């Protein structure tokens, strides 16, 4: 299948590590030739680029390119999934299920709606002229225009991926409107930024057109990134791995000699928890259950529903009760109080000590359990989510473990090394060198100690897409989505920072809305 994603650019850019991505020099007419495909051949409007922005490239693609699937991104904005460029197999597989891929919707923040958002940044009269033109040429779209202007959702960049037949249909509609709008606009006194008015209007018209199509639409992440950064990220991981090994070198030497930092650990509590003879399942929400947002409540409910009650017992760790179970060190407590250790990193220290002292399962509070958790996994060996291929291209774990979901019997070497290395780190350091410090320390243990490596390698591979649920939560509720989720995996990682909506812009219940109502 001929699938192409064109990268709109007006300057020379670093090579993109995927042949599906083709740089398209927009506004090339009369400009330096960078050796890219240009928008100034055949049927073109390249000379309009200062006002029409990437639309000169889109027009050229409409008139001059023949392929099966086509996509638009920018030299600094790309569609990404799990920190990787969308590749051809994923794009084509997605377009078998959905007709159109668009960037994740953005929300206007300070303004009341999209119209107000535009009016505060540009000339509202231009948007009004756009509506008047639409009323004359496509009156059936005016209701969708008004609805789009009264929401808080916007799509930026004129970016999307779709079948070429659908792309052509959109372009025929869009350019018929914009050529007429251009005749009616007066932007003679606009500065260079505001003169890009046609591009700004097209961004608003895109959602209008989408509302009127009987096509399945899905969203993917859009990331602001330079092409070189995709390879730079890998280099950074390699450098950070070496840097962390240097930082914890004394701990590596101690463990190489078959010793540990402390032979006897202080007791965490004068009244130890016996867990009623069951396996502890550790969940942390520092502020306590009453302060949990709805997303976290949803995840915790799913765990309570799916954990085997006869064999497991949940322990919710909070700032108030954590010292009943762990000790931390004096340096850790002091630097947490000084703001040098965040709540997030404190949970890293917490999981290491809990798993070493007591064993059991640690699971981040943003994991949703889609079905019964197999008690057979909770045996006398380590369990974590392990993948044949890395989920993230620039990731020190390389898919070998998931630092946010573990099961282990108590006393395992991996977690003692992790715990004591973190203690040592905060004895000598005053800032967190990397958000994923625990993964870099685990990587050092895996490379250094054969017994740790062999224990991890005993974990079965998981073929499930742990981010599948995250990708569909804002879609209109469909029982087939949940059946797919339950069939393909048990654990799904959600994002606390994401904006999951209970209803879509048409007022229909989303997958998230359905799950919250269970």
Final residue of a structural domain among 419, 445, 462: 462
Please check whether residues 323 and 403 belong to one and the same domain: yes
The mean of the pLDDT values for the chain is: 92
Please check whether residues 348 and 368 belong to one and the same domain: yes
Please check whether residues 291 and 209 belong to one and the same domain: no
Contacts of 426 (CB under 8 A, 6+ apart): 329, 331, 332, 335, 341
Please check whether residues 251 and 350 belong to one and the same domain: yes
Measured CA to CA in angstroms, residue 15 lies from 58, 99, 212 at distances of 21, 29, 37
Phi, psi at residue 135, to the nearest 5°? Answer: -60, -35
CATH of the domain at 330: 3.90.550
Please check whether residues 451 and 404 belong to one and the same domain: yes
Domain count across the chain:
3
Could you tell me the pTM of the whole model?
A: 0.66
pLDDT for residue 140 is more than 70: yes
| pLDDT for the residue numbered 350 | 98
Is 241 or 269 the better-scoring residue by pLDDT? 241
Starting at the edge strand that comes first in sequence, how are the strands of the sheet with 217-224 ordered?
37-38, 21-25, 3-9, 69-74, 160-163, 100-103, 217-224, 77-81, 84-85
Q: Is the dihedral of CA 71, 75, 77, 82 positive or negative?
A: positive
Please check whether residues 216 and 260 belong to one and the same domain: no
- Count the Cβ atoms, other than its own, within 10 Å of residue 100: 20
Please check whether residues 7 and 53 belong to one and the same domain: yes
Rounded (5°) CA angle 177-182-186: 145
Per-residue pLDDT tens over the stretch 395-454: 899 999 999 999 999 999 999 999 999 999 999 999 999 999 999 999 999 999 999 999
Report which DSSP code applies to 323. Answer: G
Residue with the two structure tokens 């640690």: 362
Please check whether residues 44 and 145 belong to one and the same domain: yes
| pLDDT for the residue numbered 391 | 76
pLDDT band at 228 (very low <50, low <70, confident <90, very high): low
114-121 and 197-211 helices, crossing angle to 10°:
170
From the list 100, 102, 131, the residue with the least C-alpha distance to 114 is 131
pLDDT for residue 6 is more than 80: yes
Angstrom distance (rounded) from CA 267 to CA 146: 65
| pLDDT for the residue numbered 230 | 67
Final residue of a structural domain among 442, 462, 482: 462
Per-residue pLDDT tens over the stretch 338-396: 999 999 999 999 999 999 999 999 999 999 999 999 877 777 789 999 998 877 777 89
Which structure tokens are listed for 482? 């949940």
Specify the range with the lowest mean pLDDT, choosing from 24-28, 176-180, 376-380, 503-507: 376-380
Final residue of a structural domain among 170, 203, 226: 226
| pLDDT for the residue numbered 389 | 80
Specify the range with the lowest mean pLDDT, choosing from 12-21, 104-113, 251-260, 307-316: 104-113
Please check whether residues 367 and 450 belong to one and the same domain: yes
pLDDT for residue 63 is more than 90: yes
Please check whether residues 177 and 147 belong to one and the same domain: yes
pLDDT for residue 123 is more than 90: yes
- Please give the residue range of the domain that contains residue 495: 469-516
Per-residue pLDDT tens over the stretch 49-60: 999 999 999 999
Please check whether residues 352 and 434 belong to one and the same domain: yes
Please check whether residues 46 and 166 belong to one and the same domain: yes
């Amino acid at each position: 299948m001929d699938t192409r994603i064109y990268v709109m650019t007006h300057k020379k850019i670093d090579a993109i590590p995927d042949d599906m991505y083709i740089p398209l020099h927009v506004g090339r007419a009369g400009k330096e030739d960078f050796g890219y495909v240009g928008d100034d051949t055949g049927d073109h409007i390249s000379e309009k680029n200062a006002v029409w922005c990437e639309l000169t490239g889109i027009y050229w693609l409409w008139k001059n390119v023949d392929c099966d699937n086509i996509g638009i991104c920018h030299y600094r904005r790309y569609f990404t999934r799990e920190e990787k460029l969308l590749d051809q197999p994923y794009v084509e597989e997605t377009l078998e299920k959905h007709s159109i891929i668009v960037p994740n919707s953005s929300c206007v923040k300070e303004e009341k709606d999209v119209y107000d958002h535009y009016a505060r940044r540009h000339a509202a009269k231009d948007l009004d002229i756009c509506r008047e033109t639409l009323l004359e040429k496509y009156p059936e779209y005016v209701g969708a225009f008004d609805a789009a202007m009264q929401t808080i959702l916007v799509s930026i960049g004129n970016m999307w991926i779709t079948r070429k037949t659908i792309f052509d249909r959109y372009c025929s509609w869009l350019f018929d409107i914009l050529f007429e709008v251009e005749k009616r606009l007066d932007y003679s006194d606009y500065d260079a930024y505001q003169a890009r008015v046609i591009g700004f209007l097209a961004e608003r018209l895109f959602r209008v057109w989408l509302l009127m199509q009987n096509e399945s639409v899905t969203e993917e992440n859009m990331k602001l990134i330079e092409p070189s950064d995709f390879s730079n990220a890998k280099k950074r991981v390699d450098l950070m791995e070496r840097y962390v090994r240097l930082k914890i070198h004394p701990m590596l030497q101690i463990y190489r000699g078959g010793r540990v930092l402390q032979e006897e650990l202080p007791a965490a509590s004068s009244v130890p928890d016996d867990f009623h003879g069951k396996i502890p399942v550790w969940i942390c929400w520092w502020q306590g259950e009453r302060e949990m947002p709805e997303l976290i409540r949803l995840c915790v409910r799913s765990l309570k529903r799916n954990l085997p009650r006869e064999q497991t017992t949940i322990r919710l760790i909070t700032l108030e009760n954590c010292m009943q179970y762990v000790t931390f060190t004096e340096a850790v407590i002091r630097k947490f109080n000084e703001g040098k250790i965040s709540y997030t990193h404190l949970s890293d220290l917490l999981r290491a000590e809990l798993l070493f002292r007591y064993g059991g399962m640690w699971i981040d509070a943003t994991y949703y359990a889609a079905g019964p958790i197999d008690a057979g996994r909770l045996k006398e060996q380590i369990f974590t989510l392990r993948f044949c291929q890395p989920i993230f291209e620039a990731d020190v774990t390389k898919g070998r473990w998931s630092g946010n979901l573990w099961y282990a019997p108590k006393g395992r070497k991996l977690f003692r090394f992790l715990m004591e290395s973190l203690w040592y780190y905060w004895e000598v350091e005053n800032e967190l060198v990397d958000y994923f410090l625990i993964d870099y320390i685990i990587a050092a243990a895996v490379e250094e100690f054969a017994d740790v490596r062999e224990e991890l390698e005993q974990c079965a591979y998981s073929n499930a897409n742990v981010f599948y649920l995250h990708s569909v939560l804002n879609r209109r509720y469909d029982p087939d989505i949940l059946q797919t989720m339950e069939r393909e995996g048990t654990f799904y990682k959600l994002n606390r920072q994401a904006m999951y909506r209970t209803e879509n812009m048409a007022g229909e219940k989303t997958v998230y809305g359905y799950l919250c109502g269970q």
